[in-house]
Structure 1
Amino acid sequence: MTEALAVMPSLHSFGICLFDEIWRQRFHVNARWEFHFIRHGRLELHFTKAHFRAGPGDIVIIPAETLHCDQFDGKGEFEVYMASFDWPQAAEVFYKAINGPVVSKLTETQRADIRLQLDLLYNDNQDETDYDQLLSQARFHAVLLLILKVLALNQAAPATNREQQQNRRKRNQWLIKEVKNYIGKHYAQPLSLEMLADFLSVSPFFLSRVFNSESGFSLSEYLTMVRMNQAKTLLLDGRMNVSEVADAVGYEDSGYFSKVFKRHFGCSPSSMSCKRPPAHT
């Protein structure tokens, strides 16, 4: 396919066209392919069995020998860049690739890029030397290839975005798993968001944002939950007093530990230790 597209089209005319009212009133046939880039206004293109709408920044391609009617908006200004061309080796390939006569699914940046190339073609479209016609054909060829390129990129974008989202989700899940594993092993040590982020080679802001969005609570809340659950287990075990339990789960200040414990469970650590099941004899 690319071999056919590599051959330059024959450009017979190019310029800014203000449509005659007669083209709105009757169907007609052109001997050559037509290219329209709508600068202003709107167009409703009618074929014998189908019709298409186009607006500013859209591209319209009409195959040669195709009966059609250009019903443009007669109430407002309608202006297009219009080209008449032949491309025997590639016109049908091009038409199939753009999937119909109207190219409208373009971003504003893509429209601007195509418009820029057409502006250059319009400004350089003069016959001062023997090379001007070749230069114009080359510029128009570049426009057609640019259209194919942006359409290919747009078609690939949804699949790429889905893949990126899946990869992002997998990475985030890995981060959550790793940070939870690390906390599970080192909860008795002084831990901070910065330390955890450094261990995982990410920024503290990124780690905090990912953990919050994926878990529904903050890293500090999760660390407290792990420490409190472990503290409860140790207190119920009964082999450590409150101060020893506080130190075992990462709190140097047993008074502060007691406040956090009561806020978490609704009772003091000492009352929790009294709830341990009786030892069997």
Structure 2
Amino acid sequence: MSEDDPQVWSGVEAPLPEIASVGLMAFDPIYAEEAHVNRAAEILHVVAGSVKVHMPGGPVSAGPGDTLLVPSASSHRDEFDLEEGLEVFYCAFRWEAEEDYFRAVPPQSLERLSPACRSQIAGLADLLRADLAQGREMDQLVARSRILTLLMLIYRDLVPPAGEGQEAPTAYGEVRRHELMSRARQYIQQHYARCVSLDEIAEALHVSGYYLSHVFSAESDFTLFSYLTSVRMERAKALLLAGVLKVSEIARAVGYRSPNYFSKVFRRHFGCSPRDFVASHRP
């Protein structure tokens, strides 16, 4: 990916961020007095007070209702009025796409956010606080999704789409998609004997079901579940030719609870029933 082109990343392949820590925070005066380095990337949504964050690339100022982003491993100092204090909704997160994102969206660019985008982000910050107050596993997942939405709203507001005659490089995305395809195939080959769902595969690969299904269909001539069926049928064929198991046992061995349904799928795939297939291959 070119260092000189900040618009090569589309965000389409972005996985969900992992939340490291989150909550309302009254900033300690030491943050204003000394530069410090954060291990994770940070979202700072100002609730009360004003701040100027001094960081590589230049300072960024924010007041109540504004949102700041700080990349991980950034030495920075949070300048604020010690008498007035500073209260923020703070979220530290780790994200596989962080480097690409901040190449496209430098922290200083957030001062150019449109009023509409600022309003959307403020609303998301309030929802995040409500999600995380519950503490349930599903609330955590929703919160991670909201963080990704917040980051993508900023990206959409600040990064213009590629114009006429300007094509964003796709090599990075292609590598990611091919890698995802390979991992999905591997997962299916290892788990075809169970009742595997799209959501299960997507969760194991840390992507959304919609995105996984879209990539698989776009990168191949068949759908994800067509591939699953193909793997099951090839395994069933091998078991039938081995002549050890009954048809009902083979059905269960390749992930089908109903032998009748298995036989229908087999006929659709090979053009004959399992028993006819065995009969046609007898010496």
Q: Which has the higher contact order (CA 8 A, sep 6+)?
A: 2
- State which structure, 1 or 2, has the greater radius of gyration over its C-alpha atoms: 1
